[in-house]
Amino acid sequence: MRSAAPLLLVLPLLAGGCVATVPVPEPVYSTCHALGSGDWKARVEKRDMTLHHPPLRKWRLIVDGNVTVPGEGYDVFLERGPVQKLRDPVQQIMVRTNGPADPPPDAAPTKVAVHGEFEALKRYGGVTLRCGDGTIGLITFVPRIPS
């Protein structure tokens, strides 16, 4: 009986050596390389989600706009952010501008068209476009396009 006691004490230590791969969520904040933005539009419409007949259709929030970055080589895209729970909820959309931290000094600014589709809420008080720790756009009217 005595020889089994140390073995029982060692077993939890062996299990503790295992490494579990747990996904770490990306933080909401990211560095903003945008020099400017504009032409923001948002709408909610039904989109086909499957190819079979009849197709599964869901309401989607569609956001389009333009972002100006310091030069070539930037990856600009939209991500769904948190929702501000007001009387009519305001959806935050995060504008991500991944690229070189220090662009070449002779680089010409580049305008990039961005498009994003996200799961829609039942109603919207607006859509806020955020880049870094600032707001770069506000859409106050989000029409629901009938299908």
Query: 86-96: per-residue pLDDT in tens?
Result: 789 999 999 99
What is the average pLDDT score of the chain?
A: 84
pLDDT at position 66 is: 97
Angstrom distances, CA of residue 95 to CA of 37, 49, 125: 10, 24, 19
- Return d(Cα 67, Cα 102) in angstroms, integer: 18
pLDDT of 13 higher than 70: no
Are 65 and 114 a contacting pair, CB within 8 Å? Answer: yes
More confident residue, 147 or 54: 54
What pLDDT sits at residue 106?
84
Where exactly are the structural domains of the chain?
A: 24-145
CA nearest to 33, candidates 136, 144, 142: 136
Q: pLDDT digits over 38-80, tens only?
A: 999 999 998 877 777 787 888 999 999 999 999 888 999 999 9
Pairwise CA distance, residues 61 & 71, whole Å: 29
pTM for the whole structure = 0.75
